[in-house]
Structure 1
Amino acid sequence: MAPPHTGVAISDCIFECLIDWGIENKISTITLDNASSNDAAVRNLKDNFAVKGKLYFGGKIFHVRCCAHVLNLMVQEGLHEIRDVIANVRESVKYLKMSPSRLHRFTEIVKQLQLPISKGLILDVSTRWNSTYAMLESALIFKDVFPRYKERDPYYQWLPSYEDWDKALEVCKFLEVFNDATHIFSGCDYPTSNLFLPEVWKIRQILNEKSDINNKDYIRKMTSRMRDKLDKYWGDCNLLMAMGAVLDPRYKMKLVEFSYSKIYPSFEASNHIKTILSSLSTLYGEYVSSYSSNSMKPKNQSGASSSIASTDGGSVKAKTKGRAEFDLWAKELDTIVPIKSDLDIYLEEGLYICKEESDFDFNVLDWWKSNTLKFRILSNMARDILSIPITSLASEFAFSAGGRVLDQYRSSLKPETVQALICTGDWLRNEWKITKLTEIDEDEMQNVSIE
C-alpha cells in the first residue's frame, strides 16, 4: 500500500481485494495485529458489512487480535523491568560477534573451561521477545567466560554483574512457558483455534503464581506489568478461543469450566460460561437453518434416470419414479427436528482420550472429518470455527520469505511461477510432514558455533 496507512485507507484496500476475489459476502472474521490503524480499519469494515447485512454471527468474532502479537507486547512490557540487564548482554554479544579475533579469544576461554560450544552466542532482534529469550539463554551458558574475557580485553565495557546473571536466570525460567506458547502461536502450519485457550490459561496461571509476595521484587513488577497488558486485550472472555476449545473432543466444556474457575471470580466465570454456551447454540442454529434450506432445494434427477441400464423402457421409468418417491420421503424424514441436536449429543458424550504418546500429534480436523456422518451439521460448524486463524504470523512468515524465494537466480520469474513454486513447496512439505524452519531456527543454525 502507498502511504498514508490510515484506518480508512486500509479498510478500503481490504474491501477492494475482497471484491476483486469475489468473497465480499463470505467474510466472517478478520485477523489483524494490534496496531491502532488496524482497529480503525476493522470498525469501518464491520460497519460496511453490517449495512450490507452480511455480518455473520452478529459480528461477535469479526475482529480477531493476533495472539502472537499480544503475547509479544505483554512480554516486552515485562522485560522493560530488566532492560539494563538485557542491554549489557546484548552489547556484550554484539561486541564479540563484530570481530573474528574477539570470538577466537572468547572461544579459547570456553575450551579452557571445558564448556559446550555446540550452541553459540545469539544476537537478538529487539522487537522480538523470543529472540531476546534465546539470547539470554545462550549467554547464560557462558556467564563464567565473560569476566575472564574482560581481563584480556580492556576495551570491553559491558560485563554483566553476578546480580545481572541471577536476574537473567530467573527471568528465563519465568519465560519458559511463554516461549512454549510462542512456538505454538507462530507455527507456520496455521495452528487450529483449539490450541490457544490451553496456552493462554497456562500463561494466566504462571502470572498468578509469580505475583505472589514471596517472589523477588523485580519478578513481581514484571508480572504486574504483564498482567495489565494481558487484561487490556484478553481481560474479557475471548469467544473464539473458547469455542475452538469446546470443539476439541479432548476438552469440550470441561476445559472452559476448569480454566475459567481459576482465571475469573466465580460469578464472572459462570456468566462467561453461559455466554459461550449461548453463542454456540445460536451459531449452531444458523448452521441448522442453512443445512435445512440447502436440503430442500430441488435437484436435477436427469443423471439418475440416465444411469439406470435396462432393456425395458417401462422398467427404467418405474425404477426412476420409485427412487424419486423414496428420496422425497427420506428428505422429509431428514427435516424432522430430532429430540437432541448434534451439539447436545456432542457435549453430553465423554471426552476423547488420546494415548499419551499420540496426544501431541492429535489432529482435530481429522477427528471431525472421520465423525462427519455422526455429526453432519456440527462437523461443518467445527471445520469453519477451527480453521479461523488466531494469529497472523503464518501469513507474515510467507511474505517475509520473499528474499529467500526470489534470490538472484530467480529474480526474473513471473508472479504466477513464483506462486506455483511456493504452493508446491508447501504441499510437498505437508505430504512428507517436513516442518519449515522458522526465523529463530535459522538464526540458531547460523550461530551453531561461536567460531
Structure 2
Amino acid sequence: MDRVDEHDGDDMQAETGLASDGNFRNEKSVAWDWDKCKPQLVNGVIWRPSSELWKDFIPLYADGRSRIMAAECVNCHVRLNANRSTLHLRRHIQTCPVHCILKNVEVQFSEYGSKFRKCSSGDRTPVDRHISSSPATKRMDPKKDQNTPSAHAVHDWKLQRRMIKFGVFESSTTNLDRMIHLKETHDLNSGSEPLDLIWEAIRDWDLDQKLFSLISVGDIRSNERVSKLKDFLNQRKCLPIGGALYNIACVDDVLNNIVSEDQPLLHLVGDILEKFIQAHMSSSPGQQQLIEVMTNMTLKCPQEDAKRWHKIYFGLEVLLHFKKAFPSEELLSAKNTRTVESVCNILRAFYHAFEALCGPFCPTANIYFNELWIIRTTLEEEASTDHSELATMVWKMQEAFDEYWQNSYVWLSAAAVLDPRFKFAFIEFRLKQAFGTDAAKYVSTVRETIWELFLEYCTAVDEPSVDRSNCDSGNVQVAGLYKDSLKDWDEHVNAQASGEVLTELDKYLDDGLLPRKDDFDVLNWWMSNSTKYPTLSIMARDILAIPASAVHCEAALSNEGLVVHKQWCTLNVKTIEALVCIRDWIK
C-alpha cells in the first residue's frame, strides 16, 4: 500500500482525535522539529508517493523514522505536519496564495511567453529586440538588492516592454567567464552581480543575436565586466556597429543624481518651504487655504516614499499657487520669491521629463531629445540669474547634465532624425544652439553613425541566415577558406548594389518634413511606409524602441524602487521571479 494511502486512512482519526487503539491521543506527547526533517532521495531524486497530492508537496522524514513526518509546499515553501493526516494539506492547496496565482495565470503567461519567444527567436534579420537592465533600489534584506532586466521591442508595430528576469545580488565576485563559456546555470539564491543575471536573461531568451542596446544604471555601467560582456558579444557579431549603442546611461539614474539628496539647491528652498508650511498649518484658516489651493491644482501629490526633490517641487508649486490665490507681501520677500520661482522652474523641467520618459506607457525614442533639451535650456536660463549662490548651484547641475549630453547626443539625435517631422534639419538646428561653431563635427558624427548603421542593416537583409549552432568546427574552417577566396567578389557585388540601396535613406532625408502634430504616431507612420522604405523601416523600428530608462515607472520617482509584496519576501527567489514577471506581463 502506498504510504500516502495509509495517511489518508487516518483522516477520520485525525478529525475525531482518536488514536488507532481507540484512546484519545496526546498531541503534545512528541514534538518534532520540522526544520530538521529532510526529503528522501532515491538515485539523487526526491521520492514521492504516487498520490496526486504529492505533486504539490515534498514529503519530509525525520532521522530514524520511515514515516512521513512533514510536507513542504512546492509553491510557498511552508512546512506542515503530515505524520497523521493529509486533509489539511489538501485544504492548504486550495488556499495557498502562490498556487492560486500560478494556476490562474498559467494559460495567460504561456500565451504571452510563446508570442514573445516567437518574436525574439529566429535569424538576425531584422535586429528587432532590445534589452534594458533595471536594478531597482528596493532591498529585500540589508545585504541584498534586486535586479529586474526587461526587454523592450516593437511587435506588430506596437512598442512593448516585458520583465524577463528577476534576481537578488550581493557585493560578491562571481565568474562571468564560466557562465559565458561553460553555460552554467545561475543560482538565484546565491549572491552575485547584476551582470550575471543580465547575461542569463540574454541567454535564456535567445537575445544574444538580437541585442541592440543595453540601458543600465551607473553601478552597472561603470562595472569593468560590462566591457567584457561587450567584447564577448562583439566577437560573436551580436552588436550593431561594434556596440556603439551598447552601454547607454539610464536617464532616470542620471537626472536623479543631478537633483540628489545632497543637492544644495534643495536645501536653499527647503528652509523657505518649511517656514511657509509651519506658518499656515498652525491655524485653521491657514489650513483651509492650503487645502483649497491643493484641491484646485492638477499636479498629483507625491507618495510618502517619493524622492525628496519631488516632494520639494510639489511644495514649491503649492507655495506659488498660494501666493497667486492669496497675495500678501508678508508671505515671501522679493528675493525669496525669485529664488523659489527659479528653483521651481528647474524642478518642473525635471518632473515633466520624468513623466514623459519614465511614464507607465512606453514612449518611443524620438521624443527623448526634445524632453532633455528642455532641461538643458532651463538650466542655461536659470544659471544667468543675479542670485550668485543660486547661479553657482545651477552651474554645477549644468556641468553634470552636459556630461550626460556629450555621451548621449548621438543616439538621441539618431532617434530624432527618424522622426519624419524633424530629420536632420532639426538636429542641425539644435546642435548649432548647443555647440555653436563646433556644431559641424557633432552633426557629422550623427550623420556618420546613421549611415554606418543603415549600411549594416542593408548587409543583414541581403545575407542569408545561417544556423551556426549546427556547424561543427571542421565545417567552419573549410567555409572560412572559401569565404576568404571569394571576399573580393563579395565586395564587388556589394559595391554595385550599394548605390541602389543607399537611395532609400537619401530619399527619406530628401523628402519634405511632415507637419508637427502632438498626436503623431511615429511607429504607425513607419508601418504605413514600410514598403517605401523596407530596410530603413526595420532600422527605425529598432532605434525607436530604445528605452530612456532602465527603471520601471513605479520606481522612477520613488525611494523604494520596484516594490516586492511584503508576503513574497519569505518565498524562494525563483518563486518571486515567477510572480514578479507574471504580474508585469498581465498588466
- Equivalent residue, structure 2, for 1:345: 507
* C-alpha displacement of 1:118: 1.3
Task: Give the letter aligned to residue 364 of structure 2.
Answer: T
Q: Describe how 1:48-59 pairs up with structure 2 within 5 A.
A: 48-59=232-243
Change (3 A) 1:339 1:424: closer
- Equivalent residue, structure 2, for 1:184: 356
**1:35 is paired with a residue of what secondary structure?**
helix
Q: Describe how 1:161-200 pairs up with structure 2 within 5 A.
A: 164=336, 166-200=338-372
- Equivalent residue, structure 1, for 2:586: 424
* C-alpha displacement of 1:4: 1.0
In the alignment, structure 1 residue 272 sits paired with structure 2 residue 436: no
Give percent identity, aligned residues only: 27
Taking the aligned partners of 1:272 and 1:187, their CA distance within structure 2 comes to: 30
In the alignment, structure 1 residue 373 sits paired with structure 2 residue 534: no
Taking the aligned partners of 2:460 and 2:510, their CA distance within structure 1 comes to: 24
* C-alpha displacement of 1:253: 0.4
* C-alpha displacement of 1:416: 5.7
Change (3 A) 1:242 1:283: same
> Alpha-carbon deviations, 1:85-109, whole Å to 9, x = none?
315635875x79xxxxx96x64433
- Equivalent residue, structure 2, for 1:286: 456
> Alpha-carbon deviations, 1:52-81, whole Å to 9, x = none?
343321111101111122122223489413
- Structure with the higher fraction of residues in strand conformation: 2
Q: Which moved more, 1:33-42 or 1:381-390?
A: 33-42
In the alignment, structure 1 residue 3 sits paired with structure 2 residue 170: yes
> Alpha-carbon deviations, 1:150-187, whole Å to 9, x = none?
xxxxxxxxx99885455223321343333322221222
- Equivalent residue, structure 1, for 2:387: 216
> Alpha-carbon deviations, 1:285-337, whole Å to 9, x = none?
1111111124999xxxxxxxxxxxxxxxxxxxxxxxxxxxxxxxxxxxxx795
Q: Describe how 1:6-405 pairs up with structure 2 within 5 A.
A: 9-35=193-219, 38-76=222-260, 79-87=263-271, 89=273, 106-111=283-288, 116=293, 118=295, 127-142=307-322, 164=336, 166-212=338-384, 215-236=386-407, 238-266=409-437, 268-294=438-464, 338=500, 340-354=502-516, 359-394=517-552, 397=555, 400=562, 402-403=564-565
Taking the aligned partners of 1:46 and 1:336, their CA distance within structure 2 comes to: 29
Change (3 A) 1:276 1:113: closer
Q: Is the 8 Å Cα contact of residues 67 and 391 (structure 1) preserved in structure 2?
A: yes
Q: Is the 8 Å Cα contact of residues 192 and 386 (structure 1) preserved in structure 2?
A: yes
> Alpha-carbon deviations, 1:395-417, whole Å to 9, x = none?
6649726449989xxxxx99767
Taking the aligned partners of 2:338 and 2:305, their CA distance within structure 1 comes to: 22
Change (3 A) 1:405 1:118: farther
Q: Which moved more, 1:24-33 or 1:164-173?
A: 164-173
Change (3 A) 1:107 1:116: farther
Taking the aligned partners of 1:112 and 1:87, their CA distance within structure 2 comes to: 21
TM-score by length of 2: 0.53
**1:64 is paired with a residue of what secondary structure?**
strand
Taking the aligned partners of 1:395 and 1:141, their CA distance within structure 2 comes to: 27
Taking the aligned partners of 1:78 and 1:205, their CA distance within structure 2 comes to: 23
Task: Give the letter aligned to residue 528 of structure 2.
Answer: S
Q: Is the 8 Å Cα contact of residues 383 and 395 (structure 2) preserved in structure 1?
A: yes
**1:31 is paired with a residue of what secondary structure?**
strand
Task: Give the letter aligned to residue 292 of structure 1.
Answer: D
Taking the aligned partners of 2:433 and 2:333, their CA distance within structure 1 comes to: 38
Higher relative contact order (CA 8 A, sep 6+): 1
Taking the aligned partners of 1:403 and 1:191, their CA distance within structure 2 comes to: 27
Taking the aligned partners of 1:258 and 1:54, their CA distance within structure 2 comes to: 34
Taking the aligned partners of 1:134 and 1:62, their CA distance within structure 2 comes to: 36
Task: Give structure 2 stretches of 5+ with no counterpart.
Answer: 1-167, 177-192, 468-496, 570-574
**2:248 is paired with a residue of what secondary structure?**
strand
Task: Give the letter aligned to residue 342 of structure 2.
Answer: E
- Structure with the higher fraction of residues in helix conformation: 1
Task: Give the letter aligned to residue 3 of structure 1.
Answer: E
Change (3 A) 1:211 1:163: closer
**1:188 is paired with a residue of what secondary structure?**
coil
Taking the aligned partners of 1:81 and 1:270, their CA distance within structure 2 comes to: 35
* C-alpha displacement of 1:43: 2.2
Taking the aligned partners of 1:389 and 1:12, their CA distance within structure 2 comes to: 21
Change (3 A) 1:351 1:406: farther
**2:552 is paired with a residue of what secondary structure?**
helix
Q: Is the 8 Å Cα contact of residues 122 and 135 (structure 1) preserved in structure 2?
A: no
- Equivalent residue, structure 2, for 1:332: none
Task: Give structure 1 stretches of 5+ with no counterpart.
Answer: 97-101, 149-158, 298-334, 408-412, 426-451
> Alpha-carbon deviations, 1:324-377, whole Å to 9, x = none?
xxxxxxxxxxx79527521110001111114xxxx2221111110111111111
Equivalent residues, number: 360
* C-alpha displacement of 1:381: 0.4
> Alpha-carbon deviations, 1:216-274, whole Å to 9, x = none?
223312321111111222235622101000001111001110000010132x2111111
Taking the aligned partners of 2:583 and 2:406, their CA distance within structure 1 comes to: 42
Taking the aligned partners of 1:134 and 1:107, their CA distance within structure 2 comes to: 22
Taking the aligned partners of 2:208 and 2:425, their CA distance within structure 1 comes to: 36
CA RMSD of the aligned region, Å? 4.0
Task: Give the letter aligned to residue 273 of structure 2.
Answer: V
Taking the aligned partners of 1:295 and 1:48, their CA distance within structure 2 comes to: 21
Taking the aligned partners of 1:275 and 1:388, their CA distance within structure 2 comes to: 19
Taking the aligned partners of 1:418 and 1:113, their CA distance within structure 2 comes to: 39
* C-alpha displacement of 1:190: 1.7
Q: Is the 8 Å Cα contact of residues 28 and 62 (structure 1) preserved in structure 2?
A: yes
